[in-house]
Chain A
Amino acid sequence: MDFLYDIIRHSAQNLVQAGALPDSFKFAFVINSLLCALIIGPMLGAIGTAVVAKRMAFFSNAIGHSALTGIAIGIMLGEPVNSPYISLFSFAILFAIFLNFSKNKSGMSHDTLIGVFLSASLAIGAALMMFATKDINIHILDGYMFGSILTASNSDINLLLAVAILAIGAGIYGFNRTIMSGLNPALAQVRGVPVLIYDYIFVILIALITVASVKIVGSILVEALLIIPAAAARNITRSLKSFVILSVVFATISAVTGIVVPMEFKIPIPSGGAIIICATIIFILTLLVKIVRRN
């Protein structure tokens, strides 16, 4: 795939020289981050519709926050500071499975249980960071928390692409079953859906796409890009088809705009923050449309 990325980067540089693209597009890291955005947008936008339909916004928030602990563990175990993926993925997946298991078995209200797990994960992450950052510059971690366009490499794009193919494939195959399991488990079971298995597959999928998007959007904000575009689409649509399409469009616009605008206008804010601000502006616009329609 590196060859393909090289072609894209060279083409962008040629377009810059021809005056068709702004100067900043000649830098490899800009193209890398834009490629990441073009993968993250459709992926989070599409899966976000199922997250919203299954009322799992708070759950994905907890997974996003757990990434911080995964990063700290990875750094402590000697993984590369810029890509502690083994610990990051392992911890997020185990966290998601354990949280889902506790939710299913304890009978506790979801928001209470998720609140406990979210706070505990943040607390453990903060504590471990104290040890993990003894030998590194703590500001490197800012990128993980709020996103950064500076560090996206070819291997990050490859990882995102692999997760996106898996997520979108699984999402298309299991869309109806996943939604039905959330709406009425008894009805889903009658239709032959193994509800519990789909439940676990879905939370693992959320963990995978959350962790894969952490570098660009940030662990604190990645959940917002799952939720806000879908919530914005929900404001103005009257069918599942337009819900999914608009959510993908809004997420992609937010991801690309959040990277390009701060760079072009030299606004010193992290990419994650900019992406979520764009998504929020779209949400507010759709909310206004909804209010006008209702009145």
Chain B
Amino acid sequence: MANGVNIKVENLSLSFGKNEVLQNINFEAKAGEIHCVIGPNGGGKTTFAKSLLGQTYHNGKITFEWIEKRGIVGYVPQIINIDKTLPVNVLDFIALCIQKRPAFLGVDKKFKKQVDETLDKLEMKNKSKYLFSELSGGERQRVLFAQALIPNPQLLILDEPMNSVDKSGAEVFSRIIDGLKQNGATVIWIHHDLEQVQKIADKVSCINKTVVFSGEPKSVMNEKNLLKIFSSRQGE
């Protein structure tokens, strides 16, 4: 099995001023596992992802135990605000993300093959010269996903990438992520589509300021627990 990471979160709490966003979160994800995070809007899912990425000041402990050496982390943000008039095409954007060589000199030779293959898998190769501003919401999500796959990540964190993705796109995403899982990578996937979560997740955690429930989808995604998500107010 390839490199992956076991993640353990203990008593994670975080506040923005007087607003307590996360409260005593305890969470575990294993290498070779797809762990979906669900919950109502404003429940702290994105903040939780950013805490895992080391981008927040928080209380509590987050431990990463890599199976081999420290691996590559991929991240797919929810949205990206690129000035509509900026001449950044798909290849430029990926080059900006993945390499040190200035993106205006083109994609680095050592990444070229993987960039082509990844765009092909995501059905975006024929749009590689399109400006980012000319892409639909779903196509932008595919490009954001593509950059996270280069080089191959051992930990992939996705923040609701499926918001604007159509059904065929969702299937492509799931297929690629399943491939990563087979290679031993750890996938933390913030998701809003409960039906999809039941199909793809090995584990699911519901976060609404704190962990409401966590476990295997079959055992925890029952009517009683799901009602808890949708009957509660944001952050309650």
Interchain CB contact under 8 A, A186 and B55: yes
Taking CB atoms and an 8 Å cut-off, the chain B residues in 46-88 that contact chain A are 50, 53-55, 73-75, 77, 80-83, 85-88
Residues of B within 8 A of A173 (CB): 100
Q: Check B50–A240 contact: CB distance below 8 A.
A: no
Does the CB pair B73–A240 fall under 8 Å? Answer: no
Q: A190-B53, A190-B73 are in contact. List 4 more A-B contacts (CB 8 A).
A: A183-B82, A238-B87, A238-B129, A243-B87
How does the 8 Å CB contact mask read for A153-187 relative to B, with 1 for contact and 0 for none?
A: 00000000000000000001101110110011011
**B82-103 interface code vs A (CB 8 A; 1 in, 0 out):** 1101111101100111111111
Alpha-carbon separation in the docked complex, A172 to B101 (Å): 8
- What are 14 A-B residue pairs whose CB atoms fall within 8 Å in the complex? A176-B95, A176-B99, A179-B96, A179-B103, A180-B97, A184-B77, A186-B53, A187-B75, A234-B86, A240-B88, A240-B92, A241-B92, A241-B105, A245-B104
Which residues from B are CB-within-8-Å of A238? 87, 89, 129, 131
A237 part of interface (Cβ distance < 8 Å): yes
User: Does A237 contact B87, Cβ atoms closer than 8 Å?
Assistant: yes
Q: Assess the B55–A189 pair: CB atoms within 8 A.
A: yes
- Is the beta-carbon distance between B99 and A240 smaller than 8 angstroms? no
Contacts of B75 in A (CB 8 A): 186-187, 190
| B106 on interface, CB distance cutoff 8 Å | yes
User: Measured between alpha carbons, how far is A81 from B55 in the docked complex, in Å?
Assistant: 48
Total contacting residues, chain B, CB less than 8 A: 34
User: For B98, what are the chain A residues with a Cβ–Cβ distance below 8 Å?
Assistant: 191
Q: A187-B97, A190-B53 are in contact. Are A172 and B129 (CB under 8 A)?
A: no
Number of inter-chain CB pairs below 8 Å: 82
Determine if A180 and B96 form an interchain contact, defined as CB atoms under 8 angstroms apart. yes
Q: Which residues of B contact A (CB under 8 A)?
A: 50, 53-55, 73-75, 77, 80-83, 85-89, 91-92, 95-106, 129, 131, 147
Closest chain B residue to A239 by CB distance?
A: B89
**Chain A interface bracket (under 10, 10 to 19, 20 to 34, 35 or more):** 20 to 34
Q: How far is the CA of A244 from the CA of B97 in the complex (A)?
A: 18
The smallest beta-carbon distance between B128 and chain A, in angstroms, is 11
List the 7 shortest-distance A-B pairs measured between CB atoms, nearest first: A175-B102, A190-B75, A240-B104, A240-B92, A244-B104, A237-B87, A243-B87
CB under 8 Å from chain B, chain A span 93-108: none
Contact among A55, A176, A179, A240 for B87, CB-based, below 8 A: A240
